[in-house]
Amino acid sequence: MTGMFNPPHPAAILREDVLPALNLSVTEAASQLGVSRVMLSRLLNEHAAITPEMALRIEQWLGVERGGRADLWLGMQLDYDLWQARKHAPKAVRRAPAEATA
């Protein structure tokens, strides 16, 4: 299995690095992102995922040159989600036959 470490929820980077570096409150950041404070708070508290729409908002907000690329944020979310899913992967899956019959 690749990636044997527990990747952080990408919102942790927003919460611990981005907002403090920009000296922004949750309310100010939500206003700049064009989302509700409740929505951003749910994300920052890791109760919501970074959606493609939110990733595009982050890209427009931070700019590509400052680490805002939407695909990077979505990739971090995917890494996090896949790690969580692997921990709870179903055990009763039967492998497909090596050679499919036509």
**Is residue 40 within 8 Å of 26, Cβ to Cβ?**
yes
The gap from C-alpha 13 to its chain's centroid, in whole angstroms, comes to: 10
CATH code for position 22? 1.10.260.40
Number of domains comprising the chain: 1
Provide the angle, in degrees to the nearest 10, between the axes of the packed helices 70-87 and 52-62: 140
Please name the amino acid found at residue 57.
R
Tell me which residue range forms the domain holding 41.
Answer: 10-87
Residue 10, Cβ neighbours under 10 Å: how many? 24
Residue 76 lies in a domain: yes
Q: How many CA atoms lie within 13 Å of 79's alpha carbon, on the beta-carbon side?
A: 16
Q: Has residue 96 been placed in a domain?
A: no
pLDDT in tens, 30-77: 999 999 999 999 999 999 999 999 999 999 999 999 999 999 999 999
pLDDT digits (tens, 9 = 90+) for 76-101: 999 999 999 998 888 888 889 988 66
